[in-house]
Chains A and B, each alone.
Chain A
């Protein structure tokens, strides 16, 4: 199979912290890989290693067939990177920021200006083009940063939590932009904390936690493993709980969980919901809550690891402030 990105046993330590603990992953050319994980899982570290910003302590990786350590310069020519935090020069205007990147990539001045104009209009920044980036809102900076990574029309795009801090409209526009880039042949490595986002964009998902890959598969495969959605039913009368549990268990073919006076269960087949309604109605059970919602990352974690996703920064990272 043709892999644009390939990593084999990547290890990266920061002092006591092992940020990457033998990560393997492969991204086929022209597809999107979603790197999914909670805070401190090692997503940013993985992206930085693959973008040649950090040297791994062990393991190898290649991008576009080029070794990230020995052929870093070639890798840099292929990759456009958008880091987790917008990296724009606040003292320059939006247009100058993009012009700078274009010039650094070797474009002649008129071509770099033209490209900057195109991208500014694509990212809805034309009106702000000649304002210093320090006057931009968080979302505008984010969009400028994304535009900066596209100046050189890269074959590969590394996006570290690209939609964090964007409003819903900007988020859905970014999603369609990513889809359009992929249909044009670009390979995308995208990190996210949201299963929903990985589900919407990724051809394949790699779930990492504590620097280790804990699951790999297509969104459907992962959903099959974890239940894509969660059904929650709360009967008005608590004495109906056993009956509700039995009905939900039978229809979802799973063992429902009891959270207070609420019964929850993973659901893969959407037809379950009307069936549950019918059965409970027939049995004369009144419900105060009946919902079907997307599985949260937490639930995916729970089912993958057996432990809820915890804040990795809290127990491992350098903690700021102290208990007094």
Chain B
């Protein structure tokens, strides 16, 4: 303990608030931190890299033949939906990370610094977007190796990816709320996955809606996971599969409905999360 423990003269004038550019820079720094955490924690990397690949392999080769009669055809149908499902699971890390910060006091340390009030949350969500983009890319690449083909053009593919990222952005707020309400990080995972499993599986990600009993179809049809999966299939596959039993609807309606769902989710959960966070700290 020597020289470093000295002080600088006080700054002449302290700024009264954080500028936008400064706040964005802090957001980048905090996003960097979350990405570095992943580098030190290969277990998490496995969760959003290896696990979805396992899902693709499992469903394609184990169930694909039984569900669609051909593994290749099933992969074409299921991959866009699996990407959507995986996207929802990854958002849970926003809540887990936030919860760890809250329980370990790191959140307080960040709040005690002259940092924009919104930067910690924005940093997490930005990092989440990076993880999401990585996962989508990875799953598409693995799918291509196994025989998945994009039936549309690059613009449509990018639109599909963009749509998923927007939805992830909105859905992150659900994760934030769980992260704030849960007592410890394990409960975030437990609660998050318990809620996500029915929502993702009771959709048309793995099987077409019309193969299900009528009462279930009603839920499946309004499930945002179904809608987003429909939109992604349409944007990635286009007309390629028209005429087969895996009919792909036009992209416009499900895409707009997905955006509507995203807006509703964000409008409900963002204020709720902020309110819960204010109460907790």
Contacts and interface: CB of A to CB of B under 8 A. Distances in A.
Size class of the A contact interface (CB-based, 8 Å): 35 or more
B70 interface: no
A117 B84 CA distance: 43
A280 interface: no
Contact of A71 (B16, B33, B41, B281): B16
Interface in B1-39: 1-8, 10-11, 14-18, 22, 25-26, 29-30, 32-33, 36-37
B108 A87 contact: yes
Given A92-B37, A122-B5, A155-B10, A101 B113 contact: yes
Contacts of B10: 64, 78, 155
B245 interface: no
B26 A52 contact: no
A132 B112 contact: no
A25 interface: no
B114 interface: yes
A181 B1 CA distance: 11
A77 B105 contact: no
B5 A91 contact: no
Contacts of B29: 100, 103-104
A86 B5 contact: no
A81 B109 contact: yes
Interface string A80-98: 0101011111111100100
Contacts of B2: 122
B12 to A, nearest CB: 12
Contact of A104 (B11, B30, B36, B37): B30
A92 B4 contact: no
B35 to A, nearest CB: 11
Nearest to B110: A104
A53 interface: yes
Contacts of B113: 76, 101, 104-105
Contacts of B16: 71, 73-74
Contacts of A184: 5-7
- A interface: dominant SS: mixed
Contacts of A101: 109, 113
Given A73-B114, A92-B36, A105-B114, A118 B4 contact: yes
Nearest to A82: B109
B7 A186 contact: yes
Contacts of A293: none
Contacts of B40: 91-93, 132
B188 to A, nearest CB: 16
A173 interface: yes
A115 B32 CA distance: 19
A73 to B, nearest CB: 5
B111 interface: yes
B183 interface: no
B112 A77 contact: no
A244 interface: no
A78 to B, nearest CB: 7
Contacts of B281: 53
A20 interface: no
Interface in B104-138: 104-106, 108-115
B109 A87 contact: yes
B109 A180 contact: no
A284 to B, nearest CB: 53
Contact of A91 (B18, B41, B114): B41
Nearest to B113: A104
A123 B1 CA distance: 6
In this complex, which of B11, B14, B110, B281 has the most chain A Cβ atoms within 10 angstroms of its Cβ?
A: B14
Given A53-B112, A81-B109, A83-B108, 16 more contacts: A52-B111, A52-B112, A73-B18, A73-B114, A76-B114, A76-B115, A78-B10, A81-B112, A83-B109, A93-B40, A104-B115, A105-B114, A122-B4, A177-B1, A180-B6, A181-B7
Interface of B: 1-8, 10-11, 14-18, 22, 25-26, 29-30, 32-33, 36-37, 40-41, 100-101, 104-106, 108-115, 281
15 contacts: A48-B108, A53-B108, A76-B113, A83-B105, A89-B37, A92-B40, A96-B33, A101-B113, A104-B30, A104-B113, A118-B4, A122-B3, A177-B1, A180-B5, A181-B5
CB-CB nearest 8 A-B residue pairs: A87-B105, A118-B4, A87-B109, A76-B114, A74-B14, A91-B37, A81-B112, A77-B114
